[in-house]
Amino acid sequence: MPGFAARQVADWLYRKEISSIEEMTNLSKKMREILSIDYEVGLSAPINSAESSDGTKKYLYNVLNDKYIETAYIPDEDRATICVSSQAGCKMGCIFCMTGKQGFQGNLTSNEILNQFRSLPEFRNLTNMVFMGMGEPLDNINELLKSLEILTSDWGYGWSPTRITVSTVGLKNSISEFLERSRCHLAISLHSPFDDERRKLMPIQRTNSVKDILDIIRNFDFNGQTQRRVSFEYILFKGMNDTPRHIKELARILNGIKCRINIIRFHHIPGSEFTSPGMRETIEFKEALNARGILTTIRSSRGEDIQAACGLLSTLEQNKGKQS
């Protein structure tokens, strides 16, 4: 097919939002026939959903035949954020995460990543996207980058990359590629500044240490990317990573990096001994970091009444399948 047809196809898919190849009427009949041999157009709707009293919605999708992934819709004043999954299950094994307990079941294609966005009933309200659902996005970097390209290209959905945040445990072999090939925000799951403690929480620390990741970020040239944000996600566990020692070490290791810390209150998962500190202690932790010059915010907890911790809804669905 001639090169110009690519732009026409993209225009039909991402602007005109057609639902069959037949509707691409500025392509010749012959070209439509060629396309139809290998491709089809359409959306896969979510198979289940749950709505929280705070307006957060959780959608369950069927992928890779009999696997399940979750997507969250989080409306908040003038923003509406979609939280997408990049894999079914996950191999990273973070001990506080229900998806980690499922183990790895497969990479999503860029099609399956974008389907969560495009088939969402609230698609037209969306203002922001976070890759913070099931899976480790940088462990599926090729499909991640393809989906980001479609989302941010002028021939695609035309979103500004500053509306999109990719969250990662910090895979050092992929982080530079992500920083170079996209302009989306980066969020790194930190959870402890201490090597031994982070290893217990996140096995990935054994091969991809925080020090390695911080070195990559320090050495990356952000020139001309003033809007781009690097943040560190920090789930606060009571009596574990919320002490003055942690505050001091966080301030030390992040010194000189333009970043922010995003404190997340822990969503309890079955069988976990972790709990979240109270709101007063959480605010004190935040203020102590701010006082040391690290811009710190607390992410509001959303959807607690609908199994908000990522992986819970899909685990329930999988277990149903095993019982039947």
Q: Which stretch binds ligand SF4 (CB under 6 A): 72-80, 97-105, 176-184, 236-244?
A: 97-105
Judged by CB under 6 A, does residue 312 bind ligand SF4? Answer: no
Q: How far is 102 from 100, CA to CA, in rounded Å?
A: 5
Q: 310 an active-site residue?
A: yes
Q: Based on CB atoms, which residue is closest to ligand SF4, 94 or 130?
A: 94
- Among 100, 170, 193, 277, the residue binding ligand SF4 under the rule CB under 6 A is 100
Q: Based on CB atoms, which residue is closest to ligand SF4, 27 or 82?
A: 82
Judged by CB under 6 A, does residue 108 bind ligand SF4? Answer: no
Pairing of strands 185-189, 164-168: parallel
Q: 70 an active-site residue?
A: yes
Q: Is the dihedral of CA 186, 191, 194, 195 positive or negative?
A: negative
Judged by CB under 6 A, does residue 235 bind ligand SF4? Answer: no
Among 280, 202, 294, which Cα is nearest to 248's? 294
Write b or e for each residue in 163-188: b if 16 or more Cβ atoms lie within 10 A of its Cβ, otherwise e.
bbbbbbbbbeebbeebbeebbbbbbb
Judged by CB under 6 A, does residue 105 bind ligand SF4? Answer: no
Judged by CB under 6 A, does residue 262 bind ligand SF4? Answer: no
How many CB atoms within 10 Å of residue 105? Answer: 21
Q: Which stretch binds ligand SF4 (CB under 6 A): 50-58, 132-140, 208-216, 269-277?
A: 132-140
Q: Based on CB atoms, which residue is closest to ligand SF4, 204 or 306?
A: 204
Catalytic residue among 70, 112, 136, 233: 70
Question: In the chain, what's the furthest Cα-to-Cα distance?
Answer: 69
Q: Based on CB atoms, which residue is closest to ligand SF4, 94 or 250?
A: 94
- Among 94, 120, 187, 201, the residue binding ligand SF4 under the rule CB under 6 A is 94
Judged by CB under 6 A, does residue 92 bind ligand SF4? Answer: yes
3-state secondary structure of 82: strand
260-266-272-274 Cα dihedral, nearest 10 degrees: 80
Q: In the bound complex, what is the minimum distance in angstroms from residue 98's beta carbon to ligand SF4?
A: 8
Catalytic residue among 90, 94, 97, 310: 310
Length of the chain as a residue count:
324
Phi/psi of residue 182, nearest 5 degrees: -140, 165
Among 224, 228, 212, 200, which Cα is nearest to 172's? 212
**Residues in 163-182 that interact with ligand SF4 by CB under 6 A:** 169
- Among 21, 24, 80, 97, the residue binding ligand SF4 under the rule CB under 6 A is 97
Judged by CB under 6 A, does residue 136 bind ligand SF4? Answer: yes
Among 160, 140, 1, which Cα is nearest to 64's? 140
Judged by CB under 6 A, does residue 137 bind ligand SF4? Answer: no
Q: Based on CB atoms, which residue is closest to ligand SF4, 12 or 107?
A: 107
Judged by CB under 6 A, does residue 303 bind ligand SF4? Answer: no
Among 269, 187, 274, which Cα is nearest to 233's? 187
Among 52, 72, 75, 48, which Cα is nearest to 60's? 48
Judged by CB under 6 A, does residue 201 bind ligand SF4? Answer: no
Residue with tokens 């979240």: 276
Residues with catalytic annotation? 70, 310
Residues that bind ligand SF4 (CB under 6 A): 90, 92-94, 97, 99-100, 134-136, 169
